[in-house]
Each structure stands twice: as structure tokens, then as C-alpha cells.
Structure 1
Amino acid sequence: MGNKTKHVAQRTCIVCRKKKAKQELNRLVVMDNKVLWDEFYKLPGRGAYVCKSANCIIKLQNFRNLQKTFRKKTVELKKETIKSMMEKTSDYGDKNGF
């Protein structure tokens, strides 16, 4: 009777479309038409999720549906945002000095 499993929130990566636990993904939000990495999952607003794998983070640079994802006319994704995600969450930064 005490075998209740705790619910784990699932989210979908906007790049590869795989479903994973929320904490296994990077959260992105838009503020002032700029895409920001929400490292601690605390920023307000509509969020989108990307895998922590280097492959998905790199593909995010060329992802064309950010406007549709965030329901905005224009959004800007800076290379610094991608670089900080790569350095802190993927194994790519360790191996390649990204």
C-alpha cells in the first residue's frame, strides 16, 4: 500500500521531439524578444525545452520554428546562450573546449 510512485513531469525537446523528464532538459524562455536559458527553471513566461545533449543544442542554432514555439513574431537566439548551455550541461564542452 505504500508503493506510490511520485509523478515526474514530462516535457518534449523542441529539436528532436523526444519526451524526457523536465529536469533532463534545458528550459528556454523569451524576454524582450530574446531567447534566454532558464538554468534554474524559475523565469516567468512560456517555456520551451531542449535536450542537454550537444547534438540538440547545436541543432538549436538552425532551428527555424522558434517564433512558432514561443508564439512571437520575432525572437533572437544569441550564440552566447547556446555556448553557456553547451559549457554547463553537455559533455561537448569538456571534450572540445567549446
Structure 2
Amino acid sequence: MQKVKKVPQRKCIACQERDSKKGLIRIVKNKEGEIFLDPTGKANGRGAYICKSAECLKKAIKSKALNKAFKMEVPQEVYERLLTELEDYE
């Protein structure tokens, strides 16, 4: 009998929908305080997950969900860079 591998589930910080880890994109804040998209899902640091849509990222920006997830004030230019990066994945 083969063991069924559990698919890790994560929740989008913007729309609160659950999806497989692969179905969402990870945003990371590392020890240096840099915030960036982590398409590999393996970068060191505190991670927050978001749907692969600019709509969800805009929702997260509006609700300041990243500020809560990273326990810090996220600068506007970081949000703008994340939006630009995310558009490359869509």
C-alpha cells in the first residue's frame, strides 16, 4: 500500500482562501528586513502567502495584511515592486 503524500495547505493573507502551497506565491521578509517574492518557496525568513493575482496583492495592500504578517510598516515602494514582480508571474 502506497502512502498518500499530504499536500501542504496555505491561506492567502488577502482573500483568506486556502490553496496548496504551490498554488500560492510566498512573500518573504528576511533578517535584513528585505521584502520580496519567493517563487521557490524556500527562501529564509518570515513568509506570507498570497494568490497569484495582482487583485489579491492590491487587497493585501489596502487591508495592510503584510504589515500585520511581518509586524512592521511596509513601505509603499515595496508594495509597488511586489506588484510589478507579480505581474511577471501571471
Q: Please report the TM-score for the alignment, with normalisation by the length of structure 2.
A: 0.79
Aligned pair in 2 of structure 1 residues 57, 75: CA closer, same or farther (>3 Å)? closer
CA distance in 2, matches of 1:82, 1:45: 20
Give the aligned residue type for 2:63. Answer: F
CA contact (8 A) 2:60 2:66 kept: no
CA distance in 2, matches of 1:54, 1:78: 11
Alpha carbon RMSD of aligned pairs, Å? 1.8
Residue identity over aligned pairs, in percent, reads 34
Give the aligned residue type for 2:27. Answer: L
Residue ranges of structure 2 left out of the alignment (5+ in a row):
none
Residue ranges of structure 1 left out of the alignment (5+ in a row):
91-98
Instruction: Give the stretch that moved more between structures: 47-56 or 58-67.
Output: 58-67
Higher Cα radius of gyration: 1
Tell me which stretches of 4 or more aligned residues in structure 1 moved more than 4 Å: none
The CA deviation string for residues 20-65 of structure 1, in whole angstroms up to 9 with x for no partner, is: 1000001001133342111211210110000013321232332313
